[in-house]
Amino acid sequence: MEEGVVNEILQGPLRDVFDSKQLITDVSGSGNNWAVGHNVFGSLYQEQILEKLRKSAEQCDCLQCFFIIHSMGGGTGSGLGTFLLKVLKDEFPEVYRFVTSVYPSGEDDVITSPYNSILAMKELNEHADCVLPIDNQSLFDIISKIDVIVNSGKLGKTVKPKSLVTSSARALKNRQEKPFDAMNNIVANLLLNLTSSARFEGSLNMDLNEISMNLVPFPQLHYLVSSLTPLYTLADVNIPPRRLDQMFSDAFSKDHQLIQADPKHSLYLACALMVRGNVQISDLRRNIERLKPSLQFVSWNQEGWKTSLCSVPPVGHSHSLLALANNTCVKPTFVELRERFMRLYKKKAHLHHYLQVEGMEESSFTEAVSSLSALIQEYNQLDATKSMPVQDFPRLSIAM
């Protein structure tokens, strides 16, 4: 909502990407307060937002889904972002809502981020179809690893001098600063791979609505862990391409995940592999068979794989892979968030800033934390089935 921030974008290298008539701003932001973003800016700008949404939707031949890209720790991203989610559900109930949510790290500089995140989580639970959680710490760790490779000189001249990876306001040279351009670049690549089937030809294309249909067996368990290989697909870092089989292994390693989690030691409900480039269906099948023994799937969905092949690779690469896993490994992120919330809430610290906003009551906080606890409990129940033996059900025989 900050006019200055949006104006900076309109004067920067991305100015031609956005239609300036479709942008909405206020003078200032929400002051790191979910209630201001949700209740104040939400009601103030609802009609204006709806009008611009309808205008965009009318230009679509086949409207598949809405993407909401927002941060959970601040006030506008969490508050107005989740208000918008409900608006979309009411106005376009048939259209899927995909949310890319950036979760705050433990060293977050917004003191009220646990409040904002928990209040936003309740809305995500109720109104999103798919959520791709991303945490700042994972993005920063990825960029730091690239930084180590760049500075070690192993790459020689393979890093473009003015690439996003190396030119984030020299942030890589100063570990205290966060290289936001390079971090955002990774999230942008996630979205590029996610939408590739809608934009390019492929022998096994996947509609966005198929992701939700195949990966979300229960309404609230719609949080998908994303991993990406290669991580820098805009030819910023021209590392020699990984062998195809190695690329599949990378997608299941922690180093390539956009959230800190451990899916290999947790339970898979389902998994999607979205491949781009010159890859055959036989390559997909071979790698799934190779990886299956090391991954634990729920007993009732042992074959829970969804695959897609898009023939056009990312710029500068021969192939790429985006893996989306519905896995119980997201639970620790939510447990930690609840603990950080409770530390503040037990002292009622900073609560008055929220309660003075019209429409906010203390029950909003108790309901939000109850919603998160119910979600954690659902994951607990699934985890409890981890050691159960997989039943080999007899095949259905048809009488002729």
Rounded Cα distance, 375 and 383, in Å: 13
Counted domains in the chain: 1
Written as one letter, the residue type at 241 is P
Asked if residue 279 belongs to a domain, the reply is yes
pLDDT of residue 390: 61
| pTM of this prediction exceeds 0.75 | yes
Asked if residue 293 belongs to a domain, the reply is yes
Asked if residue 232 belongs to a domain, the reply is yes
Q: What is the mean pLDDT of residues 149-165?
A: 54
Asked if residue 10 belongs to a domain, the reply is no
Asked if residue 45 belongs to a domain, the reply is yes
Residues 6+ apart with CB under 8 A from 189: 228, 231, 232, 233, 234, 314
Rounded Cα distance, 174 and 207, in Å: 41
CB of 131 closer than 8 Å to CB of 222: yes
What domain range is 199 assigned to? 32-153+180-385
Report pLDDT digits (tens) over 35-79: 999 999 999 999 999 999 999 999 999 898 999 999 999 999 999
Which CATH number do you get for residue 304? 3.40.50.1440
Report pLDDT digits (tens) over 199-211: 898 889 888 889 9
Asked if residue 162 belongs to a domain, the reply is no
What residues pair up with 277 in beta bridges, in sequence order? 319
Q: At 328, is the pLDDT very low, low, confident or very high (cuts 50, 70, 90)? A: very high
Report pLDDT digits (tens) over 5-35: 899 989 988 889 888 889 999 988 899 999 9
Taking the C-alpha atoms of 85, 89, 94 and 100 in order, what is their torsion angle to the nearest 10 degrees? 10
Rounded Cα distance, 134 and 339, in Å: 19
Asked if residue 395 belongs to a domain, the reply is no
pLDDT of residue 153: 60
Query: What is the residue-averaged pLDDT of the chain?
Result: 87
Rounded Cα distance, 122 and 364, in Å: 10
pLDDT of residue 174: 46
265, two tokens: 């030691």
Asked if residue 160 belongs to a domain, the reply is no
Q: What is the 3-state secondary structure (H, E, C) of 206-258?
A: CCHHHHHHHHCCCCCCCEEEEEEECCCCCCCECCCCCCHHHHHHHHCCHHHEC
